[in-house]
Amino acid sequence: MTAILRYQFSNIDTLVDRMFDPQVREPTQYISSATKMADSDACAQQVAALWMMDSVDLDLMLSTLLAGWMSPEDTRGSCPASDRKFLKFLADYVRDNDMTLWVPHIVKKSTFVNVAKGVTYHAPRYRIDAWRQHRLVGPDKDTPWNTENVRRLLTLFAAGAHFVVLHNYGDTKIVTEDFYGAFAKSFGSWTPWGGAQNTAIGHSHYRYHGSKGPIPSLGTAYAYPYVTGELAPTKDCPFICSLVVDTTDWKSKSIIDGDVEYLDYNTFFQLEGWPGTYVKGVLGLKGRHGKDFALHQATLWNISTYGLCPYSEKRSTPVFLAPAKYRFQVDSYGMRMPKFAGGREVQSWWRKEAITPAKPDIVYAP
Protein backbone atom coordinates (compact mmCIF):
# COMPACT_ATOMS: atom_id res chain seq x y z
CA MET A 1 0.00 0.00 0.00
CA THR A 2 1.43 3.40 -0.99
CA ALA A 3 1.44 6.51 1.20
CA ILE A 4 -1.75 8.60 1.08
CA LEU A 5 -1.45 11.58 3.41
CA ARG A 6 -0.99 14.98 1.75
CA TYR A 7 0.69 18.13 2.98
CA GLN A 8 -1.01 19.49 6.14
CA PHE A 9 -3.13 16.33 6.22
CA SER A 10 -6.01 17.71 4.18
CA ASN A 11 -7.09 14.16 3.28
CA ILE A 12 -7.16 12.20 6.54
CA ASP A 13 -10.66 11.05 5.55
CA THR A 14 -9.15 9.43 2.44
CA LEU A 15 -6.64 7.54 4.57
CA VAL A 16 -9.30 6.39 7.04
CA ASP A 17 -11.66 5.19 4.31
CA ARG A 18 -8.75 3.45 2.55
CA MET A 19 -8.24 1.37 5.69
CA PHE A 20 -11.57 -0.31 4.97
CA ASP A 21 -10.85 -1.21 1.38
CA PRO A 22 -11.58 -4.97 1.09
CA GLN A 23 -8.04 -5.69 -0.12
CA VAL A 24 -6.44 -3.71 2.72
CA ARG A 25 -8.58 -5.33 5.40
CA GLU A 26 -8.66 -8.86 3.95
CA PRO A 27 -8.06 -10.98 7.07
CA THR A 28 -5.98 -13.91 5.80
CA GLN A 29 -2.86 -11.78 5.21
CA TYR A 30 -2.86 -10.68 8.86
CA ILE A 31 -3.79 -14.07 10.33
CA SER A 32 -0.59 -15.57 8.95
CA SER A 33 1.59 -12.69 10.15
CA ALA A 34 0.01 -12.62 13.60
CA THR A 35 0.63 -16.33 14.04
CA LYS A 36 4.30 -15.89 13.09
CA MET A 37 4.95 -13.09 15.62
CA ALA A 38 7.34 -14.81 18.04
CA ASP A 39 8.59 -12.21 20.53
CA SER A 40 7.34 -8.68 21.22
CA ASP A 41 10.90 -7.59 22.05
CA ALA A 42 11.83 -8.13 18.42
CA CYS A 43 9.24 -5.57 17.29
CA ALA A 44 9.68 -1.80 16.97
CA GLN A 45 9.61 -0.13 20.41
CA GLN A 46 9.01 -3.62 21.85
CA VAL A 47 5.37 -3.29 20.72
CA ALA A 48 3.85 -6.28 18.92
CA ALA A 49 1.66 -4.86 16.16
CA LEU A 50 0.74 -5.29 12.51
CA TRP A 51 -0.19 -2.27 10.43
CA MET A 52 -2.61 -1.88 7.54
CA MET A 53 -1.09 1.44 6.42
CA ASP A 54 2.09 2.50 4.67
CA SER A 55 5.03 3.01 7.02
CA VAL A 56 5.43 6.63 5.89
CA ASP A 57 1.80 7.40 6.78
CA LEU A 58 2.17 5.53 10.07
CA ASP A 59 5.20 7.57 11.11
CA LEU A 60 3.47 10.81 10.11
CA MET A 61 0.36 9.89 12.09
CA LEU A 62 2.26 8.87 15.23
CA SER A 63 4.45 12.00 15.05
CA THR A 64 1.34 14.13 14.67
CA LEU A 65 -0.41 12.48 17.63
CA LEU A 66 2.78 12.95 19.67
CA ALA A 67 2.78 16.65 18.76
CA GLY A 68 -0.87 16.83 19.81
CA TRP A 69 0.08 15.33 23.18
CA MET A 70 3.04 17.66 23.68
CA SER A 71 1.38 20.87 22.44
CA PRO A 72 -2.40 20.42 22.45
CA GLU A 73 -3.04 24.18 22.31
CA ASP A 74 -1.15 24.57 19.03
CA THR A 75 -3.91 25.28 16.53
CA ARG A 76 -1.37 25.96 13.78
CA GLY A 77 -0.07 22.40 13.79
CA SER A 78 -1.34 19.48 11.76
CA CYS A 79 -2.97 17.51 14.60
CA PRO A 80 -6.78 17.66 14.18
CA ALA A 81 -8.73 19.56 16.85
CA SER A 82 -10.73 16.53 17.94
CA ASP A 83 -7.55 14.49 18.46
CA ARG A 84 -5.86 17.33 20.36
CA LYS A 85 -8.86 17.58 22.66
CA PHE A 86 -8.61 13.93 23.70
CA LEU A 87 -4.81 13.90 23.84
CA LYS A 88 -4.83 16.95 26.13
CA PHE A 89 -7.31 15.20 28.42
CA LEU A 90 -5.19 12.04 28.51
CA ALA A 91 -1.91 13.91 29.02
CA ASP A 92 -3.39 16.05 31.80
CA TYR A 93 -4.75 12.96 33.52
CA VAL A 94 -1.40 11.15 33.30
CA ARG A 95 0.48 14.17 34.68
CA ASP A 96 -2.02 15.07 37.42
CA ASN A 97 -2.07 11.48 38.71
CA ASP A 98 1.58 10.56 37.94
CA MET A 99 0.52 7.54 35.91
CA THR A 100 2.98 5.08 34.41
CA LEU A 101 2.59 2.59 31.57
CA TRP A 102 2.83 -1.18 32.19
CA VAL A 103 3.34 -3.39 29.12
CA PRO A 104 3.71 -7.19 29.01
CA HIS A 105 6.63 -8.81 27.22
CA ILE A 106 5.05 -11.69 25.32
CA VAL A 107 6.60 -14.71 23.63
CA LYS A 108 4.74 -17.12 21.36
CA LYS A 109 4.70 -20.72 22.61
CA SER A 110 2.24 -22.54 20.35
CA THR A 111 -1.27 -22.24 18.90
CA PHE A 112 -4.68 -23.32 20.11
CA VAL A 113 -7.90 -24.20 18.32
CA ASN A 114 -10.45 -21.41 18.33
CA VAL A 115 -13.83 -22.16 16.76
CA ALA A 116 -16.09 -19.26 15.86
CA LYS A 117 -19.33 -19.52 13.91
CA GLY A 118 -18.39 -23.00 12.77
CA VAL A 119 -14.97 -21.96 11.44
CA THR A 120 -11.83 -23.44 13.03
CA TYR A 121 -8.86 -21.13 13.56
CA HIS A 122 -5.42 -21.74 15.09
CA ALA A 123 -4.77 -18.68 17.22
CA PRO A 124 -1.36 -17.99 18.78
CA ARG A 125 -0.76 -18.82 22.45
CA TYR A 126 1.67 -16.63 24.40
CA ARG A 127 3.73 -16.69 27.56
CA ILE A 128 4.22 -13.48 29.52
CA ASP A 129 7.92 -13.27 30.43
CA ALA A 130 7.81 -9.86 32.10
CA TRP A 131 5.69 -6.85 32.97
CA ARG A 132 7.62 -3.62 32.43
CA GLN A 133 6.91 -0.20 33.84
CA HIS A 134 7.56 2.86 31.65
CA ARG A 135 7.57 6.39 33.08
CA LEU A 136 5.61 8.92 31.05
CA VAL A 137 6.08 12.12 33.07
CA GLY A 138 9.52 13.69 32.73
CA PRO A 139 11.89 14.55 35.58
CA ASP A 140 11.53 18.34 35.53
CA LYS A 141 9.94 21.31 33.79
CA ASP A 142 12.67 21.35 31.14
CA THR A 143 11.85 17.71 30.29
CA PRO A 144 8.10 17.48 30.95
CA TRP A 145 7.64 14.14 29.20
CA ASN A 146 9.55 10.98 28.47
CA THR A 147 9.07 11.28 24.72
CA GLU A 148 10.07 7.71 23.90
CA ASN A 149 7.54 6.24 26.31
CA VAL A 150 4.75 8.60 25.28
CA ARG A 151 5.32 7.50 21.69
CA ARG A 152 5.22 3.88 22.89
CA LEU A 153 1.84 4.58 24.51
CA LEU A 154 0.51 6.22 21.34
CA THR A 155 1.78 3.31 19.22
CA LEU A 156 -0.05 0.84 21.45
CA PHE A 157 -3.16 3.00 21.29
CA ALA A 158 -3.08 3.31 17.48
CA ALA A 159 -2.68 -0.47 17.18
CA GLY A 160 -5.83 -1.12 19.25
CA ALA A 161 -4.31 -2.11 22.61
CA HIS A 162 -6.75 -2.50 25.48
CA PHE A 163 -5.85 0.02 28.20
CA VAL A 164 -6.96 -0.52 31.80
CA VAL A 165 -6.63 2.60 33.98
CA LEU A 166 -6.09 1.53 37.59
CA HIS A 167 -7.63 4.34 39.64
CA ASN A 168 -9.67 2.23 42.06
CA TYR A 169 -8.48 2.87 45.62
CA GLY A 170 -9.53 -0.65 46.58
CA ASP A 171 -7.06 -2.05 44.03
CA THR A 172 -4.14 0.34 44.44
CA LYS A 173 -4.50 1.95 47.90
CA ILE A 174 -3.46 5.18 46.18
CA VAL A 175 -5.89 8.09 45.84
CA THR A 176 -6.32 8.60 42.09
CA GLU A 177 -8.84 10.54 40.00
CA ASP A 178 -11.69 8.53 38.47
CA PHE A 179 -10.82 8.39 34.74
CA TYR A 180 -14.34 7.52 33.64
CA GLY A 181 -15.86 10.33 35.69
CA ALA A 182 -13.30 12.83 34.44
CA PHE A 183 -13.89 11.76 30.83
CA ALA A 184 -17.64 12.17 31.27
CA LYS A 185 -17.16 15.73 32.54
CA SER A 186 -15.00 16.63 29.56
CA PHE A 187 -16.80 14.74 26.80
CA GLY A 188 -20.17 13.73 28.20
CA SER A 189 -23.68 14.59 27.11
CA TRP A 190 -23.56 18.13 28.48
CA THR A 191 -20.38 19.18 26.63
CA PRO A 192 -20.02 20.61 23.11
CA TRP A 193 -17.69 17.71 22.28
CA GLY A 194 -20.25 15.14 23.29
CA GLY A 195 -24.02 15.21 23.23
CA ALA A 196 -26.34 12.41 24.32
CA GLN A 197 -25.59 10.69 21.04
CA ASN A 198 -22.06 9.79 22.09
CA THR A 199 -23.23 7.23 24.63
CA ALA A 200 -22.38 3.83 23.17
CA ILE A 201 -25.24 1.36 22.81
CA GLY A 202 -23.06 -1.63 23.55
CA HIS A 203 -19.70 -3.35 23.46
CA SER A 204 -18.26 -6.73 24.41
CA HIS A 205 -16.02 -5.80 27.35
CA TYR A 206 -16.68 -6.47 31.04
CA ARG A 207 -20.28 -7.58 30.89
CA TYR A 208 -21.95 -7.63 34.28
CA HIS A 209 -23.56 -11.02 34.96
CA GLY A 210 -25.04 -10.30 38.38
CA SER A 211 -28.74 -10.21 39.08
CA LYS A 212 -28.75 -6.56 40.09
CA GLY A 213 -27.51 -3.34 38.56
CA PRO A 214 -27.06 -2.18 34.97
CA ILE A 215 -24.84 -3.88 32.42
CA PRO A 216 -21.84 -1.61 31.70
CA SER A 217 -21.86 -2.56 28.04
CA LEU A 218 -25.37 -1.21 27.52
CA GLY A 219 -25.52 2.56 27.55
CA THR A 220 -22.70 3.52 29.92
CA ALA A 221 -19.80 3.67 27.44
CA TYR A 222 -18.68 6.75 25.59
CA ALA A 223 -17.87 6.64 21.89
CA TYR A 224 -15.58 9.50 20.87
CA PRO A 225 -15.88 11.43 18.69
CA TYR A 226 -19.44 11.27 17.39
CA VAL A 227 -19.06 9.50 14.03
CA THR A 228 -22.02 7.98 12.23
CA GLY A 229 -22.40 5.99 9.06
CA GLU A 230 -19.80 4.04 7.13
CA LEU A 231 -17.60 6.86 5.84
CA ALA A 232 -15.08 9.11 7.56
CA PRO A 233 -16.09 12.75 8.13
CA THR A 234 -15.04 14.88 5.16
CA LYS A 235 -14.63 18.03 7.27
CA ASP A 236 -11.89 18.18 9.93
CA CYS A 237 -11.53 14.38 9.96
CA PRO A 238 -9.55 13.15 12.97
CA PHE A 239 -7.20 10.18 13.14
CA ILE A 240 -9.10 8.98 16.21
CA CYS A 241 -12.53 8.01 14.88
CA SER A 242 -13.50 5.09 17.12
CA LEU A 243 -12.48 5.52 20.76
CA VAL A 244 -14.56 3.67 23.35
CA VAL A 245 -14.34 4.46 27.10
CA ASP A 246 -16.20 2.65 29.88
CA THR A 247 -15.94 1.16 33.35
CA THR A 248 -14.54 -2.31 34.03
CA ASP A 249 -17.40 -2.99 36.43
CA TRP A 250 -20.46 -1.15 37.62
CA LYS A 251 -21.19 -0.16 41.19
CA SER A 252 -23.75 2.55 41.87
CA LYS A 253 -22.88 2.88 45.57
CA SER A 254 -19.63 4.37 46.75
CA ILE A 255 -17.27 2.68 49.22
CA ILE A 256 -15.79 4.51 52.20
CA ASP A 257 -12.33 3.41 53.35
CA GLY A 258 -11.14 5.71 56.13
CA ASP A 259 -11.07 9.20 54.64
CA VAL A 260 -11.35 7.91 51.05
CA GLU A 261 -14.63 7.53 49.20
CA TYR A 262 -14.59 5.83 45.81
CA LEU A 263 -16.65 3.82 43.32
CA ASP A 264 -15.56 0.20 42.90
CA TYR A 265 -14.53 0.16 39.26
CA ASN A 266 -11.61 1.05 37.02
CA THR A 267 -11.78 2.38 33.46
CA PHE A 268 -10.80 0.94 30.11
CA PHE A 269 -10.30 2.69 26.80
CA GLN A 270 -9.43 1.38 23.36
CA LEU A 271 -9.26 2.51 19.74
CA GLU A 272 -11.51 0.14 17.81
CA GLY A 273 -11.72 -0.33 14.07
CA TRP A 274 -14.93 1.58 13.51
CA PRO A 275 -17.72 2.72 15.83
CA GLY A 276 -20.12 -0.08 16.64
CA THR A 277 -22.73 2.37 17.89
CA TYR A 278 -25.59 4.00 16.02
CA VAL A 279 -24.29 2.73 12.70
CA LYS A 280 -27.37 2.29 10.54
CA GLY A 281 -29.34 1.45 13.66
CA VAL A 282 -27.45 -1.78 14.44
CA LEU A 283 -25.23 -2.72 17.37
CA GLY A 284 -22.00 -3.01 15.44
CA LEU A 285 -22.73 -6.50 14.16
CA LYS A 286 -22.68 -5.37 10.56
CA GLY A 287 -20.82 -2.81 8.50
CA ARG A 288 -17.21 -1.83 9.12
CA HIS A 289 -17.24 -2.74 12.81
CA GLY A 290 -18.61 -6.22 12.22
CA LYS A 291 -16.27 -7.05 9.34
CA ASP A 292 -13.32 -7.21 11.75
CA PHE A 293 -14.95 -10.09 13.65
CA ALA A 294 -13.36 -12.89 11.59
CA LEU A 295 -9.87 -11.45 12.00
CA HIS A 296 -10.38 -11.00 15.74
CA GLN A 297 -11.67 -14.55 16.16
CA ALA A 298 -8.82 -16.03 14.16
CA THR A 299 -6.10 -14.29 16.17
CA LEU A 300 -7.73 -13.00 19.37
CA TRP A 301 -5.87 -9.79 18.57
CA ASN A 302 -7.53 -6.40 18.95
CA ILE A 303 -8.33 -4.55 15.72
CA SER A 304 -8.05 -0.77 15.41
CA THR A 305 -8.67 1.53 12.46
CA TYR A 306 -5.04 1.22 11.41
CA GLY A 307 -3.73 -2.11 12.64
CA LEU A 308 -3.96 -4.93 15.16
CA CYS A 309 -2.12 -6.14 18.24
CA PRO A 310 -2.28 -8.92 20.89
CA TYR A 311 -2.73 -6.60 23.91
CA SER A 312 -6.13 -7.83 25.03
CA GLU A 313 -7.80 -8.44 28.38
CA LYS A 314 -9.08 -11.74 26.95
CA ARG A 315 -5.47 -12.91 26.65
CA SER A 316 -4.30 -11.54 30.05
CA THR A 317 -2.20 -9.08 28.05
CA PRO A 318 -3.83 -5.64 28.35
CA VAL A 319 -1.65 -2.63 29.03
CA PHE A 320 -2.14 -0.73 32.27
CA LEU A 321 -1.96 2.88 33.31
CA ALA A 322 -1.22 2.87 37.05
CA PRO A 323 0.11 5.31 39.64
CA ALA A 324 3.91 5.44 39.78
CA LYS A 325 3.97 4.03 43.33
CA TYR A 326 1.61 1.13 42.56
CA ARG A 327 3.14 -2.23 43.45
CA PHE A 328 2.46 -4.49 40.49
CA GLN A 329 1.33 -8.00 41.45
CA VAL A 330 0.17 -10.77 39.12
CA ASP A 331 -2.63 -13.13 40.14
CA SER A 332 -0.85 -16.42 39.36
CA TYR A 333 -3.88 -18.52 40.26
CA GLY A 334 -6.47 -16.44 38.43
CA MET A 335 -6.27 -14.56 35.14
CA ARG A 336 -2.47 -14.12 35.30
CA MET A 337 -2.55 -10.34 35.40
CA PRO A 338 -3.15 -7.92 38.30
CA LYS A 339 -6.49 -8.22 40.04
CA PHE A 340 -8.72 -5.21 39.48
CA ALA A 341 -12.39 -4.37 39.86
CA GLY A 342 -14.06 -6.20 36.99
CA GLY A 343 -11.29 -8.79 36.93
CA ARG A 344 -10.68 -9.88 40.50
CA GLU A 345 -12.11 -13.31 39.78
CA VAL A 346 -11.92 -15.39 36.62
CA GLN A 347 -14.38 -13.96 34.10
CA SER A 348 -16.34 -15.66 31.33
CA TRP A 349 -14.63 -13.50 28.69
CA TRP A 350 -11.14 -14.69 29.70
CA ARG A 351 -9.51 -17.22 27.36
CA LYS A 352 -7.41 -19.51 29.55
CA GLU A 353 -6.12 -21.44 26.55
CA ALA A 354 -4.57 -18.27 25.08
CA ILE A 355 -1.88 -18.01 27.77
CA THR A 356 0.87 -20.37 28.94
CA PRO A 357 1.36 -20.25 32.72
CA ALA A 358 4.66 -18.68 33.81
CA LYS A 359 6.07 -16.52 36.58
CA PRO A 360 6.88 -13.21 34.89
CA ASP A 361 9.52 -10.74 36.01
CA ILE A 362 8.18 -7.45 37.37
CA VAL A 363 10.47 -4.74 36.05
CA TYR A 364 10.08 -1.31 37.64
CA ALA A 365 11.27 1.82 35.89
CA PRO A 366 14.44 3.35 37.41
Q: Are 80 and 227 in contact (CB under 8 A)?
A: no
pLDDT (0 to 100) of residue 337: 96
Does residue 159 fall inside a structural domain? Answer: yes
pLDDT (0 to 100) of residue 2: 77
For residues 70-98, average pLDDT: 95
Q: How many domains does the structure of the chain reveal?
A: 1
Share of the chain above pLDDT 70, in %: 88
- pLDDT, tens digit, 9 for 90 and up, residues 86-126: 999 999 999 999 999 999 999 999 999 988 778 888 899 99
| Intra-chain end-to-end CA distance of the chain, in Å | 40
For residues 51-74, average pLDDT: 95
Is it the case that residue 280 has pLDDT exceeding 60?
Answer: no
Does residue 355 fall inside a structural domain? Answer: yes
Residue 349 belongs to what domain range?
7-363
- Pairwise CA distance, residues 108 & 125, whole Å: 6
- pLDDT, tens digit, 9 for 90 and up, residues 194-251: 444 555 656 667 765 553 444 555 667 788 888 878 899 998 999 999 998 988 987 6
- Give Cβ neighbours of residue 127 (< 8 Å, ≥ 6 apart): 106, 107, 108, 109, 355, 356, 358
Q: What are phi and psi of 205, to 5 degrees?
A: -95, 140
In the 8-state DSSP scheme, what is residue 343? -
Closest to 223 (Cα-Cα) out of 249, 194, 264: 194
Does residue 174 fall inside a structural domain? Answer: yes
Is it the case that residue 281 has pLDDT exceeding 50?
Answer: no
pLDDT (0 to 100) of residue 193: 44
pLDDT (0 to 100) of residue 7: 65
- Give Cβ neighbours of residue 99 (< 8 Å, ≥ 6 apart): 93, 136, 137, 165, 321, 322, 323, 324
Does residue 2 fall inside a structural domain? Answer: no
Is it the case that residue 360 has pLDDT exceeding 90?
Answer: yes
For residues 147-170, average pLDDT: 98
Is it the case that residue 324 has pLDDT exceeding 70?
Answer: yes
> Global pTM?
0.94
| pLDDT confidence bin for 252, thresholds 50/70/90 | low
Does residue 45 fall inside a structural domain? Answer: yes
Does residue 185 fall inside a structural domain? Answer: yes
Is it the case that residue 325 has pLDDT exceeding 60?
Answer: yes
- Pairwise CA distance, residues 224 & 242, whole Å: 6
Does residue 1 fall inside a structural domain? Answer: no
pLDDT (0 to 100) of residue 6: 74
